Amino acid sequence: MTASYQVHGDVAVVTLNHPPVNGLGLATRQALVAGLEKAGQDAAVKAIVITGAGKAFSGGADITEFGTDKAFAEPNLHTVISLVEQSSKPVVAAIHGVCMGGGLELSLACHYRVVAPGCSVALPEVKLGLLPGAGGTQRLPRVLGVEAALNMIVSGEAVKSEFIAGMPGQKLFDKLVSSPEALMDEALAFARSVADARPLPLVRNLPCAHPQGDAYFQFARNMARGMAKNFPAPAMCVDAVQAAATKKKFADGLVAERELFTQLMWSPESRSLRHLFFAERAASKIPDVPADTPLRKIEKVAVIGAGTMGGGIAMNFLNAGVPVTMLEMKQEAIERGVGVMRKNYEAQVRKGKLKQDKYEQRMALLTTTLSYDDLKDADLIIEAVFEDIGVKEAVFRQLDAVARPGAILASNTSTLDVNKIAAFTRRPQDVVGMHFFSPANVMKLLEVVRGEKTAKDVLATVMAVAKKIRKTAVVAGVCDGFIGNRMIEQYVRQAGFLIDEGCTPAQVDKAIEKFGFAMGPFRMGDLAGNDIGWAIRKRRYVEHPDMKYSKTADLLCEKGRFGQKVGKGWYDYVPGKRDAIPNAEVVAMIEDYRKSEGITPRKIGDEEIVQRLVFSLVNEAAHILEEGIANKASDIDVVYIFGYGFPVYRGGPLNYANEFGLFNVVAAMRRFAQNPHDDAAFWQPAPLLARLVAEGKHFA
Ligand code: NAI
């Protein structure tokens, strides 16, 4: 039952009932229409109330129908809205909890709206690169005024019902009831009070204009474009609202809205945002771990190591109200680590992002210790000590000795073998990788590294913990670099070849930043510390002596140019600032290197730079998928969007490759393989990629 029908005296009540948020899927739309017809035919019924069961009026479209025929099947939302408007009996929306997207558009078609306090009201379509396509851009400005409506439509943000009800002159809500509990009684009374009112008021008949006319809309469009450079939707929301204010007939405004909506529906930006919306949800599902796997209790957390990562990791839990015990080797290290955490919180307080009392509450959840004995009650222990297998061994042997049975033992290692770490304990089933990204209290991504023996309930629990601390978690198998860093190594290697062949670091960075990356590879190296990559390469030279690398990064490190932390790297930095200033000495160093290698520099265009960088990610990702290191292509996109600054509007490397066409991607790779200064072996298309192209398929 997706909507129920009841009669209370002379008022019919149609209750949307499609958990969790009464999404307006096909069955719900059908049941709603059936309820309206029944009420229309019953002579005893004088008025109709539409409401929602559970915690919401309606959250709008049913996301499970996205991309299926059901989404637009009749009766579609337009038809439902017309039927509501055409009802000869007054229709009252009784709104509470959540009233968003199509739910708000449905309520705007009703003759009256009664609302409970605390209800979140929004048209969030812009967040998926769309605009409200069922009259929202035409009706909301008529009840709230152009500016307030545009603010909601362009931002997609929710506004509380009591705030809207208090806006002078608003016509969205006819009545704000005293409490959610009082909603139905008051909505029924309201429906009776308007049972005989004729003609019935319709939002479509209200006027819509802005005193500054087109000048205002031009201003709003410029603002929208400036704020969302690579997304067409916000500016097109302005176009749609302008149509509401300027078209003579309401119906013409609706046509304009529909045209703009259709354009956005097919835009690569919206396709990418919708892909990510589902990719993020899908990431938490692990193919062989049932959704109802019982979880282990996680009420107390311990973090070992109060360095760069340990402090940030601890903050995530404190922010979520979970007590943390932090262990270090020396009191000074504790004091330094806690000092950094305090500085971070204090900066948030100064910026008004955190209240002083909240900050104190959070810090009160933190205890520190030098003794492993204090970890014996912890449910989850996360190790973030030096990246050295000997140090990790000592830590995990101690943890094995003191941790309570069933405690989860996690390592934040970024390169070491989680299976090896698990083998230092007698409980490898309880060991898992939790690879946070720096700064750990800010970055949303968490790679959950599944060891050979990691128990399913440990994985399920860690995924739930990730949600609690507001991380987007992706499961990765054990391999060097897991998903993200394994791919980035190929990308950075290409960046090196590009400068060998004729680019400057600034040229490479600019090209990929224009493509949309938050930061190019050389600025990224300077931020992370060039010494980190240097250490990894030194290991690679021993493990894979035949692997090709540009040596420019090593030369840079030999000069001590480790990056921002020392004020110089690929670029120069002024203390306290992050601006990257090109350095002539570095450019000369690169030129000398080319000479020593006998390379005649050539001019390389942005297109080649971008393709070599991005397709190197794609090829490595295809290997990762085939090896089962990632469960699905969309997981890799999530890793790159949330952990590596890949442009959101391109939906991640594999979504981008799909859009570009895998045939074209492989053709480019074959071209790159001909370049004597590049790595021909690397550019052999991964078998999975070659297979997909042969079968005319794309990454699923
Ligand atoms: P760090 O050097 O800033 O901090 C390590 C801390 O661990 C130091 O405070 C040290 O005193 C403490 N420590 C060392 N041995 C210890 C022991 N036996 N018992 C207790 N405390 C001990 O290092 P960072 O950068 O925080 O890295 C920690 C781990 O996180 C490493 O495994 C690293 O690979 C990983 N990681 C680092 C990232 C980064 O960007 N820095 C990103 C992701 C993972």
SS3 for 321-333, per residue? CCCEEEECCCHHH
Which structure tokens are listed for 402? 């003191």
Same domain, 323 and 420: yes
- Please state the rounded mean pLDDT for residues 450-476: 98
Using the mean position of ligand 1's atoms as its centre, give its distance from the Cα of residue 386 in Å. 4
Same domain, 472 and 504: no
Which structure tokens are listed for 440? 């750990």
Same domain, 158 and 12: yes
Residue 77 confidence (pLDDT) above 80: yes
- Answer whether residue 337 is part of any domain: yes
Same domain, 439 and 526: no
Output the CA–CA distances (angstroms, integers) from residue 575 to 144, 563, 565, 566, 581, in the order listed: 48, 12, 9, 9, 12
Q: Judge contact between 241 and 149, C-beta under 8 A.
A: yes
Q: Residue whose CA is closest, atom 8 of ligand 1?
A: 307
The atom number, within ligand 1, closest to the CA of 438 reads: 40
Using the mean position of ligand 1's atoms as its centre, give its distance from the Cα of residue 388 in Å. 9
Q: Residue whose CA is closest, atom 29 of ligand 1?
A: 384
CATH, residue 9:
3.90.226.10
Residue 64 confidence (pLDDT) above 90: no
CA distance 587 to 2: 66
CA distance 675 to 672: 5
- Give the model's pLDDT for residue 428: 98
The atom number, within ligand 1, closest to the CA of 337 reads: 9
- Answer whether residue 624 is part of any domain: yes
| Sign of the torsion angle spanned by Cα atoms 670, 672, 673, 679 | negative
Give the end of a domain, one of 454, 476, 498.
Answer: 476
- Give the model's pLDDT for residue 426: 98
Output the CA–CA distances (angstroms, integers) from residue 210 to 131, 139, 155, in the order listed: 20, 14, 19
The atom number, within ligand 1, closest to the CA of 309 reads: 26
**pLDDT above 70 coverage of the chain, percent:** 100
Express the helix, strand and coil content of the chain in percent, nearest 5 each: 50, 10, 35
**Backbone torsions φ then ψ of 193, nearest 5 degrees:** -70, -20
Residue 66 confidence (pLDDT) above 90: no
Using the mean position of ligand 1's atoms as its centre, give its distance from the Cα of residue 309 in Å. 6
Q: Which residues line ligand 1 (CB under 6 A)?
A: 304-310, 327-329, 333, 384-387, 391, 394-395, 412-414, 435-438
Closest CA to 618 of 584, 579, 646, 598: 646
- Answer whether residue 356 is part of any domain: yes
Q: Judge contact between 317 and 324, C-beta under 8 A.
A: yes
- Answer whether residue 278 is part of any domain: no
Candidates 382, 383, 386: which one to mutate for ligand 1, based on the most atoms within 8 Å of Cβ?
A: 386
Same domain, 27 and 89: yes
Domain enclosing residue 422, as ranges: 301-476
Same domain, 520 and 390: no
Same domain, 494 and 448: no
- Give the model's pLDDT for residue 305: 97
Buried b (16+ CB within 10 A) or exposed e, 312-323: bbbbbbbbeebb
- Answer whether residue 521 is part of any domain: yes
- Please state the rounded mean pLDDT for residues 207-215: 96
CATH, residue 369:
3.40.50.720
Using the mean position of ligand 1's atoms as its centre, give its distance from the Cα of residue 434 in Å. 13
The atom number, within ligand 1, closest to the CA of 336 reads: 9
Using the mean position of ligand 1's atoms as its centre, give its distance from the Cα of residue 441 in Å. 15
Give the end of a domain, one of 240, 265, 290.
Answer: 265
- Give the model's pLDDT for residue 59: 97
- Give the model's pLDDT for residue 315: 98
Candidates 303, 304, 308: which one to mutate for ligand 1, based on the most atoms within 8 Å of Cβ?
A: 308
Output the CA–CA distances (angstroms, integers) from residue 63 to 128, 137, 287, 545, in the order listed: 12, 21, 21, 50
Candidates 334, 414, 531: which one to mutate for ligand 1, based on the most atoms within 8 Å of Cβ?
A: 414
Structural domains of the chain, count: 3
The atom number, within ligand 1, closest to the CA of 413 reads: 32
Tens-digit pLDDT profile for residues 284-335:
999 999 999 999 999 999 999 999 999 999 999 999 999 999 999 999 999 9
**pLDDT above 90 coverage of the chain, percent:** 96
- Answer whether residue 629 is part of any domain: yes
CATH, residue 548:
1.10.1040.50
Using the mean position of ligand 1's atoms as its centre, give its distance from the Cα of residue 311 in Å. 10
Same domain, 137 and 210: yes
Which structure tokens are listed for 446? 């968490």
Same domain, 188 and 77: yes
Same domain, 239 and 313: no
- Answer whether residue 284 is part of any domain: no
Among 292-296, 506-510, 531-535, 617-621, whose mean pLDDT is lowest? 531-535
- Per DSSP, helices labelled H in 627-698 are 633-644, 653-660, 662-673, 687-694
- Answer whether residue 167 is part of any domain: yes
Using the mean position of ligand 1's atoms as its centre, give its distance from the Cα of residue 304 in Å. 8
Using the mean position of ligand 1's atoms as its centre, give its distance from the Cα of residue 307 in Å. 5
- Please state the rounded mean pLDDT for residues 362-371: 98
- Please state the rounded mean pLDDT for residues 638-647: 96
The atom number, within ligand 1, closest to the CA of 436 reads: 43
Same domain, 528 and 595: yes
Tens-digit pLDDT profile for residues 627-641:
999 999 999 999 999
Residues acting as catalytic residues: 105, 125
Residue 602 confidence (pLDDT) above 80: yes
Same domain, 551 and 459: no
More confident residue, 544 or 617: 617
- Output the average pLDDT for the chain: 96
Q: How confident is the model at residue 690 (pLDDT cuts 50, 70, 90)?
A: very high
